[in-house]
Structure 1
Amino acid sequence: MKGFIGPQSRNGLDLHCKIKNLFHHPYLLYMYNFGPVFVQEPDDLIFAVDSEEKKVMMACEARGNPKPTYSWLINSTEVDVEDDFRYSLIDGNLIITNASEAVDYGVYQCRAENSLGIVLSRDALLQFAYLGAFSGRTRGAVSVREGQGVVLMCAPPPHSPDIIYSWVFNEFPSFVAEDSRRFISQETGNLYISKVQPSDVGSYICLVKNTVTNARVLSPPTPLTLKTDGVMGEYEPKIEVHFPPTVMAAKGVTVRLECFALGNPVPTITWRKMNGNIPKKARLRKSQAVLEIPNIQLEDSGSYECKAENSRGGTAFRGYLQWISMINDTQLDSGEQLRWECKATGKPRPSYRWLRNGAPLSPQNRVEMVNGELIIHRVQQTDSGMYQCVAENKYGAIYSSGELKILASAPMFKTTSVKVIATVGKDVSLECRPQASPKPRVSWRKGDRRIQPSKRIILLRNNTLRIINSSRSDEGSYVCRAENQFGSAEKTTALLVKEAMRVELSPSRVEVTVGESVVLSCKAIHDPSLDVSFLWLLNSQPLNFQKEGGHFEYIQTQSSTADLMIRSILLKHAGKYGCRVQTSADTVYAEAELLVRGPPGPPGVVIVEEITDTTATLSWSHGVDNHSPITAYNVQARSPFSLGWQTVRTDPEPVTGDMESAMAVELNPWVDYEFRVVATNAIGTGDPSAPSRAVRTKEAGKYCFASWHHGIIEDCTMCT
């Protein structure tokens, strides 16, 4: 079988050739024998120890003929599935029951094997996420003078992986707020107070949170008290928190540098980069105590200084940010060129060397190594393997690793014959997408005649054949042939060209009144050899006939016509109705507009512009007329003495539909009123506006003592 690569190396590296196109051809899977090829390899995994699920699954799947068998390695030692009941295999997946960090933490590899060879998966690290409890031992009080600096130790419990620190002051959930005087280091977890004040006296509790499980635990309280033997005088800053002298950072990561000082007065922290400027993308956090540099690049490396100053003096700390450009896993076709760049910064300037499968790599005919750059010309299958770049100086070394996989296989198509139906006058594309490595040469022919590109027939870069303005004469059998050094394959496309479909939707515009019904008819004129399907839409959204309360009904009396019946129309049914018609050749869309006349919508909010003892001047804005002009407005009011909303007299009277203000008259003095407005048109009366704010009429010049019955003034018995 051309392109087959035999058994793999036994050094733990996956050096197989992925013959990807076999995966898509079930017949060939049984026709040929081939060695194991991974479909799924295990990934790094963090297992929460306190989770309800007590099992860990490391996933692995491979294809091969004969069918592969599986085994697993942990830290290069074979897992004993037979004798250790905690381990079991389901297909290729390793299941670990009652997993524990002491026994199961480590690097795992899946091994797939059949009679033709063995492959080892990539490394997968299994870690355990947990958060222990703080020691229950009582913490002693910390006593300092006012004005003195203090460090409260967190002493976090055992944990994995990282945790986030915060501090509770006196009682939960009162948290310590960081500022220029107080700082919580996310490296040590300690709370630093540069200058203690009387308000700081109290109980402090360290709270830690696991970043994976979100579990939280609290430390025993640490009391902070003030000594009574005087106040601490001013003193120069002392840096208590700083970043390491050398910070290693890979390209693209975010670096966080901490710096905080104790002192009286409270020190000011400033940052600078020696021989350059702080990157513009850098962010200062926590009142200058944290310098955060995202997406580290080569130009960000160098020496950084944080300086703490107050009126008594200053002190500084410097550290070096060392940068390395990492290499990544790469897949290449046989014959292509590999170019990996590995760059690092440091003092002294680092030197570089390369390893392949753990052994030193030397320059040779196709291999170049210059200043950290590795170039391999015309890669071959023997170049596959695990590569490492080592950047080192007298202070240490940084490793960057990546896997190189070389692909090699003959061309193969998922399907070898397809049918494409086009319409006259439209452009049509015939695809040719073989799976092959290296990339194959592609040619087209129609029947026995090789196709030569022209203004109307274009061969695109992705090997697709595009025919512009297709006609009946373009019908026929088109063959795409793909070929490389490992073999060749062909795909046949039968092209049929049909007359373009037309769609008629009637009526194209219709006006109806609320409660009426209407029928929209959609007719397709198309090639009779093609099946046709219809889809109705309202405002570009497909209609759901089951959820519309019986208002819509789909009616298809013949294969080329579909009607839409809309019954008992509501205002919300107004809009643009689309009919989308589809055949295997093309899709056509037509649209009609439905306008629904109905009672007006509510007017805009009512504003009381002026109030007297018996009148209120009101204004509002027009609401929607729902395709029927507003003819009149009705002004209504309510008070604590009325039975709901009552129509009030107005000036002018009546209030016509073109007006937006009126005066309510004959109101009672010293009464709280709300007002609203209702619009009317030829269809009916709409919903009222929202009520105005409550207002009180003015006090009258004369007072009437009246008898009341059900909130209505019946008789004025005495006036003064």
Structure 2
Amino acid sequence: MGNRVRTERSNLVISDVRPSDDGRYVCQASNVLGVRRSRPAKLVVLVRPFFVLRPSPGRGLAGGSLLLPCRVGGSPRPRVHWRRTDGPLPVGRLHYTEDNSMRIDGLRSSDAGQYSCEAENEAGRVSAAVTVEVQVAPSVDMPRRAAVTLGSQVALKCQVRGQPAPRAVWWKEAQFDPLLADQERGRITTSVQNDLYISPVTSADLGWWVCAAASAAGSFSGRVLLHTGRVKVPPGSASGRSGPTDDLVHLEEVRLLDGTSVRLSWKTSDRRPVDGFYICYIRRPAADGEATSAAPAVQKVTVLNGGADSYVLTGLRPGAAYEFFLVPFGGGREGRLSRLRRAQLPEAGEQSVGMGKFLGERSQGKFAGLCSRC
């Protein structure tokens, strides 16, 4: 114990008491007539609760599970309980582990909010609050078909839902030239509600139009057939409200290489090889309100190699925030979007946007059965 222990008038004084001081102590007195010992005295050192693993913010997908860790120490062993600070706990869907972590099953949007892990014993109390975010995969609701008269105007509705708010993209199938919300391209415009307007309609506009939505929680696509009333749609050939299917391409990582370039890495389904990929990226408005000459637009790079699994995109704007997603293609149509990923580039010298090159090839694959309802 070193200099922390001293005696004052036969009393034992311990300074800076530590857990290791816990134990039994005996007072011993001796003189020429002999030795006398006291009955053992037990010292119990109380330790205020402390976090061995502090709870951290949690993010989960609706329908899934989320584990909120909370490991505490202290003496005596603290009593630990969880509570929600902005509403009731999701009773019936909670499970507690031996180390006092809490798991929420069957996540719902209503589970998002503030939670607190609290530990208490005779020495004191400690608590830590965490935020739970529940993501909801995107969905798209739109009509199956729309009949028009050439020379007239048409509005194609596309209702997009999800949390976080998905990024919606329109394009004409087999002519991948994507439009974001609130954009204009000649006769074709989009609204902030993600609806598409064509005025006047020409024969070149007839065919399948795709409205797709992507976020960090997933992606979703729907199709609508624009026709003049003379085209029959075979049953089951299209669905205005497409159900989610397995991702054909998964954008795994966006790694910063320097102030102007990133490396995108992805995986594709081995069951559905493709002919190539569109690498799409959108420069987001700056948080400080930086003025831009135009609304955000989709920029793209075409990779004509179905075996590619990474790509280095160079010449991005230093200090800017970007969104990235991939679109596989083959056999004359585009597949389902990947999930959306974001990246914030570090500040550096100014440089114009350019192109990169793809890295990492796998065996070439032929297109087969690519997302028949995209």
Q: Give the shorter-chain TM-score range.
A: 0.3 to 0.5
Larger Rg: 1
TM-score (norm 1): 0.25
Higher relative contact order (CA 8 A, sep 6+): 2
TM-score (norm 2): 0.44
